[in-house]
Structure 1
Amino acid sequence: MQDSFDATTLIFLALAVFVIWRLRSVLGQKTGTERSPFRPVERNRTEPPAGRGEGDNVVRLPGADRSPAGAAAVQTAARDWRGIAEPGSAVARGLEQVVQLEPAFEPRAFLEGAKGAYETIVTAFAKGDRKTLRALLSREVCEGFERAISEREKRNETAETTFISIDKAEIAAVEVKNRAAQITVRFLSNLITATRDADGKVIDGNAETGVEVPDVWTFARTLGSRDPNWQLVATDAGG
């Protein structure tokens, strides 16, 4: 009886080992191609992103079509400026001209810079900061700003401006002639602005309540130049 039991036990053990071995051969071995269920897309963090091709504004991805048709499709996708300009509009065509002359140009980054310049210029004008204005304005526009500051100073008036927010900044027009580019931006800001006389009395504006202020400003730059800064060359009330 004991011998029979031992023989049966050995047979079952042998079968169990065989079954486990078969299951492991089918299910348990890793091939190196599995994806973690928590990371459906893996990225190699040790490799730098693909560089830009010389003379273009397209970041080439591994496996991208390198044929002319494929490159054109990728470039078209890279220049899909939704939220910046309507496809086929005059603004979109103007931006296309800018990018052709300066592939590194990025409209969203330009708008962020324009908002910063707008706030800096408005604040500098209120403070009478001529040095800052001269660095950001064209000569003609700067002369107009300085003239207004001088007239304000002669009347012993002071200006106060506090930005609450810039609610909108959108490209309204783009013009390119040779390598000279002009981009017009429409702003809508919320400001607290007031002018005080020599006695400190508010004679214009409101020192406590914000108001919506529309403005249309035009910035200019020579594309391809080493100077990356855009200068304010025209201002207009937004209306």
Structure 2
Amino acid sequence: MVLEIVLLAMVAAFLGLRLYSVLGRRAEQEEEPAVQRFESDEPPAIRPAAAPAPAQPVRPAELEGVMPAVERALREIAAADSKFNVAQFLDGARGAYRMILEAFWTGDRETLRELCDDDVYAGFSTAIDAREAAGETMDNTLIRIEEVRIHSASLDGRTARIALLFVADIAAVTRDRDGNVIAGSLDDAIESRDVWTFSRNVTARDPAWLLDETDEG
């Protein structure tokens, strides 16, 4: 009887060892990660992070349509004159255009002297002299300025020059010494296209720009 019990115990122990060895290997196999299809056994390559896109410089609306060479010249002017601002310059040029035209029409030499360089002032003054000698007057009206566009720009040493195209509607009338209309009409405005060039010494303390050339657009 005792012998049978011992034999049964030995058989049970033997079966237990066999079961453990089988289950143990299966558990170890299940813990290993399965290799997926199309997955390489090699370690994944380390890819460098994409470099951030460089920030694009803000381009003022006033420079839309301006040629690259002109834009470079404007930036050179701004670098030489920290107070230069394209938008402010264009606003000031609009005002100067109106003031100079009205001063010429009315014969206001003092205003022309302040806003023009010597050569341009001399040309306006000569025309006013001839008009006054003939007894004629100009009864002109600037109806509106349709457009002001940068035409060209340059920085030559300390002298900055910017040419602007002005497109404006003007009602022009010339009267004789008796007040009779001898040219033009106040009822019909005409389109005027002028290219005016303003200049300034960028190192001068005076921030004013002077009209130094006029031409037809």
TM-score (normalised: structure 1): 0.65
Aligned pairs for 1:88-103 (under 5 A) are 89-103=68-82
Match of 1:235 in 2: 214
Runs (5+) with no aligned partner, structure 1:
1-71
Q: Is the 8 A contact 1:157 1:198 kept in 2?
A: yes
Match of 1:171 in 2: 150
For residues 60 and 141 of structure 2, the distance between their equivalents in structure 1, rounded to whole angstroms, comes to 32
Match of 2:22 in 1: none
1:211 matched to 2:203? The reply is: no
1:160 matched to 2:139? The reply is: yes
Deviation, structure 1 residue 97:
0.6
Match of 2:104 among 107, 125, 128: 125
For residues 133 and 141 of structure 1, the distance between their equivalents in structure 2, rounded to whole angstroms, comes to 9
Runs (5+) with no aligned partner, structure 2:
1-53
Deviation, structure 1 residue 88:
6.2
- Report how many aligned residue pairs link the two structures: 165
1:138 matched to 2:113? The reply is: no
Deviation, structure 1 residue 160:
1.2
SS of residue in 2 equivalent to 1:153: helix
For residues 171 and 110 of structure 2, the distance between their equivalents in structure 1, rounded to whole angstroms, comes to 23
Match of 2:179 in 1: 200
For residues 181 and 153 of structure 2, the distance between their equivalents in structure 1, rounded to whole angstroms, comes to 39
Aligned pairs for 1:45-124 (under 5 A) are 73=55, 76-77=57-58, 80-86=59-65, 89-124=68-103
Residue type at the aligned position of 1:178: G
88 and 212 in structure 1: CA distance in 2 versus 1, 3 angstrom threshold: closer
Residue type at the aligned position of 2:158: R
Spell out, residue by residue over 1:124-158, the C-alpha distance to the aligned partner (whole angstroms, 9 max, x if none). Answer: 00000000000000001100100000000000000
For residues 90 and 193 of structure 1, the distance between their equivalents in structure 2, rounded to whole angstroms, comes to 36
For residues 148 and 177 of structure 2, the distance between their equivalents in structure 1, rounded to whole angstroms, comes to 35
For residues 148 and 55 of structure 2, the distance between their equivalents in structure 1, rounded to whole angstroms, comes to 29
Residue type at the aligned position of 1:169: V
Match of 2:205 in 1: 226
Deviation, structure 1 residue 87:
7.0
* Aligned Cα root-mean-square deviation (Å): 1.8
